[in-house]
Each structure stands twice: as structure tokens, then as C-alpha cells.
A and B are shown apart, each in its own frame.
Chain A
């Protein structure tokens, strides 16, 4: 009996809490908080405490499987890898390189993601590589990098303490980023005014100083009205605007149409409240904006983020220790997956694929010809399955539950000539695969995750993957070599060293420097200490750019047949498509079935009682779920979490895409609800 405690990083949200896994006889038996971790400081949320529960689950995939007829049959690794390489090569030869695509994973390490995107780019000469960041902060990356020069959270999590105002848009951090919520409360207790903008009266909203319960999708009118009031009352940061920004005149022009009265009518709050909030934010010495899916998951998601950037720059609230714009990233390594280039338009370090200088640089680094044509996004890859895309490699993603309009995904996947899914469980998506490769979870690998505040942190391998499963690094190396690439890496540290060479923002990052606190990029040199907050003195792009946010209300407004606006999202005890949390007994005990939240008056009007079986329908489809009556919802809006495969909220959502970032409008579509 030798008991061991190994420090590693939580596999759930983007907060990136440190935890200790207790191992006995090669089994992880408990999770404990890490008292010395810079973010978590010895605390964990319910998911963190249960992080070990799915590791040894009997459903874990333990061997490669090939579908013969309708049945998966085990095959040896060498055959599996050989087959995958042959099929992908054949497809690329027959239909051209752009017929191959890959979905990388925000659950996997930076090293895994780097190898994955390099495999797609260098192996097939296509940029068809993307991952689920598209479905969460695609608009953030698009808008913030255009306006400020970097798509990442500008400040650090501990910077909330010291701000005078914290304004949260569409973030239910108490359920989705609980440890960050703790820091925000600490900031509030030390003097910050906490303002929450959310159509739902969430726990965060109830504990705030001010809650603006706006109509779903009316963020631009709200921010437009605020900015107009700030300008009318000369509360803008004139020096800041003059010295550090450009195109202010265009914003001013745009604001002409957003009088406070019109804005407040559009978002369903009182003009006085709008004015009050504008004044608090503008007058604060230092102010932070937090935003999340409530902002991005709209067909005008990118414009929403532009609006937020405009508001912050208008008041000069960006570029100092307690002033900034904080998108909270969802997945444990969604920040990292973007940083290392698992996106169709950029190489590692956000270096554009269309830039020939960059293309040349990477061609020399990787020794292969590359394409300068930006690739397809997640949603485009799925919808062109069988037409443009013929062979698809999915690593640890579950688009069947995470993408909008599930029926469409179900129709699309079988049209592929060849689908490889690499995962730890036979997910709903993996069932459609031709070849399934058993990968490894966070406790079974070495590598790095990058959290929402750009902190690159080291994972430690705790146990071996089950059965014949292999860690994703090994699988990618095997497949890379089978495709003729130079994938002779001995360990992930070597991959990080290669990344550092080609990625300026991470040039100084090496495993031996990470220690237990990690490093926050930009970290451009080996002796650079990392960066706590961005845009100090000067924006990454030079001058901050005001971009006029074109407002489009939600595509589907409620009508006679579909009288509600359906909002989808997460809840505290489950995570995303539930692959891990629903296999954790403690988490699943907390909520074991799907539900839909509805306002008491709406419930009355529709004859629905708490706990009733109800049918929730939209123009895409319908699901059977359970009603949960709660004053948290405003009249006319209902909420359904998307974790439950037996009642998938994404069978209902609309495929309306944001024109710039291609994010679907998960946060608003018209729905009906009837008692079953």
C-alpha cells in the first residue's frame, strides 16, 4: 500500500484550478484541493471535488474498434493507425486536400492540439481544423483581436479584487466558473459595485448590487444606450480615446440612433436604471467587464463583443491592473487550443494562414507545403459532410450534443466516407464513427492546459490509461509517422519546445519553467516572467479600434405558435455534453434528468406544474423534459441545459450563424411548451 498525492489541473472549466489526486494501487480514489494553487487557493467547486469519479468508469474505451456492418469490433493498434492513414491519404488524393478535416479538442493538452493541427495542416495541406471554441468564444477571438489585437482575457482572475466596478454580461459564473465567482465576490466585498446583465435572475444576479434583466439578445441596445448617456454627459475618457484609440468618430455616429429611451425600450428596462449603470461604470476609477456565452452565442455575437470593447475603451477601462475585459473561457483548455492553432484561419500564436510570410515560416519549420486558404469552421465542416468534406478526424469532441440542430448533425455524419473518433467514452458522436480510437483523460497524460487568464499550467500523469488505450500524444505521433510526418517526439516537453520556436507569444515557455504556478502568456523570452494584464500603455494592435456593432435582434422572435424564447446553457453539477459528469455518481445524483425552467406566471397560464412532464418544441424538433418552475426566469423566456443526451436541448436550437465568427445562436430561438 503506497499512497500518493499528485498535483494536477482540473479537467472541467477554464478556471484551471489545481487539485491533488490521491492514488492507491494505481487507482485514483479521491480529489483534494491544492492549497498552494495561485487560482484555486485550496478551494474547489462540486465538479472539481468529483474530478476523479469518471477516470476508472467501466464505460471507458480500452481498445481500438472498427465498425463492421453495424457492430464495432476490436482491432490491433497498428491496423487501426494504418487504416486511418490510408483512408485519409486516399481521400486527399481522390477529392483534394480540402476533403479532409479535423476537429481538435479543448479537453486535450496544448501539445495534443499542436500535434493535431500540424497533422491536418502539414499532413494534408488543408486548414480544415477547428474545435468547439467556435461554439463558445469564437466571436470573442474575432472581435477582441480586431479591436484590441488579442482575443484573450486582458487581466488575471485575482485582479477583480481592487476594481471599483465589476460588470458581468451573460455570465452565470456561480454555476459555470464558481472559483472565479469567489474572486468577484471578494472584489465586491472590498468595494466594487457588482452589476449583472442577464435575462435570468441567476444566483449571481441575486447577489449583485444591480441586476438588469434584459430581453434575450438585446445587449447592443443596452450598451449603445449606456455609451450614448456617457457621451451626452461627457463622462468618456477623452485623453484615453485621443491617445490610444482610433475610429471614434464612427462610433459617435452610430450612437446617434441609440437614445437612452429607445435603448431601454428595446431591452426592457427603465431608462433611469440604464443611466445609473452607465454612470457607475463610467465613473469608476478601475472597472472590469466579465462576459460569457450570453454575449457570444448570438447571431450578432461578434457585434456584441465589439460593443463591449467600445464601452471599455470609451471609459478608458482597459490596460491597467484592475481594468479590463474578461471573457471567461468554458473548457479547461479552450484558451490553449486556440493559442496553439486549432483554428481554421491561424497557425499557432494567432499567425494568419493567409499571410504568405507566415505560411513560408511554417513551411520551413514543418518541412511540408501548406495551404494559404483559411479552412472550414466546425459548423461548416459538419454541414458539408459528404459534399465538401469526405473524411473527418474528431478528437475528443461530441458535436452530436454540442452543435445546433442535432437532427442536421445526425443526417450529416453518416454521409462521410470515413469518420475517426478518438475519445475516452463511446460518445453519441463516436457511435457514428467508422473507426474509434481509445484516448486518455487528464489524469493519464503529461502536458499543459492554458486557463482563461492565459496561465499555462503543467499536468502530471497520475495513472495509466485503461486497457489498451493510449495517451493522445502517443496516438497522434503514431498517426503522424504513418502519414510520413516527422513525429518522432519522445515526450510532450519536446512538443512545447517546438511550439515555443514558432509561437512568439509563448517563445519563453518550456516545461522546466512552469513549476506549480505556471506562466501567463505573452511570455516572449526565456527570462520573461509572463504577463498579468494586457494592453498596458499600448494595445497589442497599436491603437484600440472602435468598430461599429451592427445590431440584429434574434433571428427567431416568439410568435403565436412558439410563444417562448428558449435559452440554453449549463448548470452547476454538469459539464457540457455530460460525457464525464453524467458518469460521476456524485454529480449525476445532484441532477439526473433534463429540465426546463419556466416563470411561475407562464407556467400557470399554460397549466404546467412543477415536476410535470412537458414537451418542449421548436421548428427544428422537440424533446420530452421536466418542468421546473422558478422566479429566476422572466416571463416569456425559458431555459434548458444541454447536458442530457436523452433530452438534447440542441435538437431544438437554431443554426443561425454569426456572419463573422460562425457561432450559432444558442441563446435565443422561439419555442413552445406543453404538458404531456
Chain B
């Protein structure tokens, strides 16, 4: 229980010292935990840390709808922190208005989420544990490895169960486009289930391919148990391999996908290795 007490002490202090105007976390004031914005130190005794709850999108909406000087703290896990960083990088959230109270997950939780990085940048709460390699896990393997045709069949069988609840989109902490492509008649046919495998699920997956922080919110929200997060693994791995890039880990570095052809690859991390005809040389 000490980790909960630590969390309460930290949040209480931040509120008492008026460093923050509110802290978003879980409160069990009424029996079961629900999200809550703690605004006074007295309320903090009801703060709890379980179950896993993703706050990034909520935090974004709270900051957007509160006065310009309102600063919000968020008690969150590694994945949620990475989601917040992605929202900041995409100009959805002002980093000066938030403060993260980071919490490391246990090994069991990491295993349940197939999480490669079950801790925030600075774990204020809990102990950092080793992450999980999804490719080591038996059920995940079946979706990630083997012959293309087998994987295709496996995914088809799963996605044929889709009931088009939009839960994967709604629960994703960084799925924030307005208007949403999934509500665009050009892409997704209305009024029929299952939602189209290519135009709904793959558009959603690719739309998030360089932003996905592998929090597993989509998988958790799926009523029919489609392991949607696994759709992202290949792309995440390839970004890590080709560009040493992982979404949400470095606030200063934009996604390689965002760079344009003129300054390729993105200038924030490397000068192009070939002569750049658009760059006016000082020497001429």
C-alpha cells in the first residue's frame, strides 16, 4: 500500500504548495474508482492507482476547457505519459500546463499489456521493471509470426467479429483528428458490420502507426476481444530499427513520418548525408 500513500503525499504537497490547480487521477470516493480532478489537498485521501486507466485524452480536454492559467497534474503510467508527449508534439496540448506524476507498472501488469516499456521517464512511484517482448508471448506470436496467409486468416477471423462500436478509436489516447477519417464516407461504409477490415481497421492502424505508444487501450476497449494493439507492433518495430524512433519517448524529436522530402531525414536528429541543393552554401 505504500505506493498509494506515496502518491497521496506527492499530490497533496503539489496542491498545498499551489504548484498545480488540479490533479487528474482515480478516486474511490464513491465505492469504486472513477477519474477525478483533485483540487484540494483534503480530497486526496481517496486517490487510488488501480485499475489501469488512460488519462491523456481526458487531460487534453480538461486543459482545453479550463482557464489559461490552470495547471493540471496527471498521475499516470509510462504509456499514458508517452501519449501526453505525443499530444504535445502534435500541438494538441501545451506542455507548460501539465505535470506528470509518473508511476511504474509491475511485471504482471507489463505482461498483461505486452508492454515493452512499463515505466515513465521518471518513476515517482513504484519500481522500474523489465518490459516484455511481445514476440516472446505465445498468443501474440500467432498474430505476428508465421506465413503471411496464416496471419491473414488469423486476423480475418478476429476482425470479422468487429461490431463497429468505435471503442478502439474512442479509447485511444492519441486518436484525436477532427473530423475523423472513420466518419468519412470516402473510406468507411456506414451502417454495416463488421466494419471493413481494410478501410476501417487498417486506416485506423496506419493513421496511428508513428504515434502509437502501445498502451493497449484499443485492445482493452474491444468488446469482442480483437487484439488490436498487435496491429501496431510491426510498424513500431520498424521505426525503432530503421530510425531508432519510439513514439512518446523523446519530446524533442518529431516522427520521421512528419519530415518532408526537402529536409529528409528530419533535421532535428541528423543532417542529411548527401548534398542538399536547396541549402545555400556560405562558401559560394
Which residues in A have some Cβ–Cβ distance to B below 8 Å? 1-7, 20, 24, 32-36, 40, 42-46, 48-49, 174-175, 178-179, 181-182, 185-186, 189, 203, 206-207, 515-516, 571-573, 589-591, 595
Contact = CB atoms under 8 A, between A and B. Distances in A.
A203 B193 contact: yes
A24 B224 contact: no
Nearest to A179: B223
A5 B36 contact: yes
B37 interface: yes
Interface stretch (B146-154, B161-169, B230-238, B248-256): B161-169
Contact of A178 (B39, B163, B191): B163
Contact of A5 (B34, B165, B220): B34
B170 interface: yes
Given A175-B193, A206-B160, A43 B222 contact: yes
B225 interface: yes
Decide if the interface of chain B is mainly helix, strand, loop or mixed.
loop
B190 A178 contact: no
Given A5-B35, A7-B32, A591-B190, A207 B221 contact: no
B272 interface: no
B228 to A, nearest CB: 12
A655 to B, nearest CB: 30
Contacts of B220: 35, 42-43
Given A35-B51, A182-B223, A207-B161, A3 B193 contact: no
Given A5-B36, A42-B221, A182-B223, A591 B191 contact: yes
Nearest to B35: A5
Max count, chain A CB within 10 A of own CB: residue among B62, B190, B193, B222: B193
Nearest to B67: A1
A516 B223 contact: no
B134 interface: no
A45 B65 contact: no
B65 A33 contact: no
A207 B34 contact: no
Interface string B176-193: 000000010000001101
A185 B31 contact: no
A507 B55 CA distance: 41
A515 B160 contact: no
B32 A185 contact: no
A590 B188 CA distance: 10
Interface string B15-38: 000000000000000111111110
B196 to A, nearest CB: 13
B66 interface: yes
B35 A43 contact: no
A555 B87 CA distance: 61
B200 interface: no
A45 B163 contact: yes
Interface in B47-79: 51-53, 62, 65-67
A517 to B, nearest CB: 9
Contacts of A185: 161, 224-225
Nearest to B32: A516
B165 to A, nearest CB: 5
B230 to A, nearest CB: 15
B167 A182 contact: no
A207 B31 CA distance: 39
Closest 4 CB pairs of A and B: A591-B191, A43-B223, A182-B223, A5-B34
Contacts of A573: 191
A182 B191 contact: no
Given A5-B34, A44-B223, A589 B161 contact: no
A589 B183 contact: yes
Contacts of B52: 35
A179 B223 CA distance: 6
A395 B223 CA distance: 33
B47 to A, nearest CB: 14
Contacts of A20: 34-35
B225 A186 contact: yes
Contacts of B165: 43-46, 48-49, 178
Contacts of A591: 190-191
A591 B189 CA distance: 10
Contacts of B221: 33, 42-44
Given A7-B34, A24-B65, A203-B193, A49 B167 contact: yes
B191 A571 contact: yes
B184 to A, nearest CB: 11
B193 A516 contact: no
B66 A1 contact: yes
A181 B193 contact: no
Contacts of A32: 35
22 contacts: A2-B37, A3-B62, A5-B34, A20-B34, A24-B65, A34-B32, A35-B220, A36-B33, A43-B167, A43-B222, A44-B165, A44-B221, A45-B163, A174-B161, A174-B193, A185-B224, A189-B225, A516-B32, A572-B193, A573-B191, A589-B190, A590-B190
A36 B171 CA distance: 16
Contacts of B30: 7
A377 to B, nearest CB: 34
Contacts of B32: 7, 34, 36, 515-516
Contacts of B36: 4-5
Nearest to A184: B224
Contacts of B167: 33, 43-44, 49
Contacts of B160: 203, 206-207
Contact of B166 (A40, A46, A516): A46
Nearest to B217: A42
A421 B147 CA distance: 62
Given A33-B167, A179-B223, A189-B225, A515 B191 contact: no
Given A1-B65, A20-B34, A45-B163, A203 B194 contact: yes
Contacts of B37: 2-3
Contact of A181 (B33, B53, B224): B224
Nearest to A18: B32
Contacts of A43: 165, 167, 220-223
Contacts of A515: 31-32
A591 B225 CA distance: 25
Contacts of B39: 2
A13 B95 CA distance: 42
A166 to B, nearest CB: 14
A515 B32 CA distance: 9
A46 B37 CA distance: 27
From A2, A42, A181, A185, name the one whose CB has the most chain B CB atoms within 10 angstroms.
A42
Contacts of A4: 36
B223 A45 contact: yes
Contacts of A2: 37, 39
A206 B183 CA distance: 25
B26 to A, nearest CB: 10
Contacts of B171: 33
A13 to B, nearest CB: 12
A590 B189 CA distance: 9
B224 A182 contact: yes
Contacts of A178: 163, 165, 223-224
Contacts of A590: 164, 190-191
Given A33-B221, A178-B223, A46 B34 contact: no
A32 B165 CA distance: 12
Contact of B31 (A174, A182, A516): A516
Nearest to A593: B191
B168 to A, nearest CB: 10
Given A44-B221, A207-B157, 16 more contacts: A24-B65, A35-B33, A35-B52, A42-B221, A46-B164, A49-B165, A174-B163, A178-B223, A178-B224, A181-B161, A181-B223, A203-B193, A515-B31, A572-B193, A590-B164, A590-B191
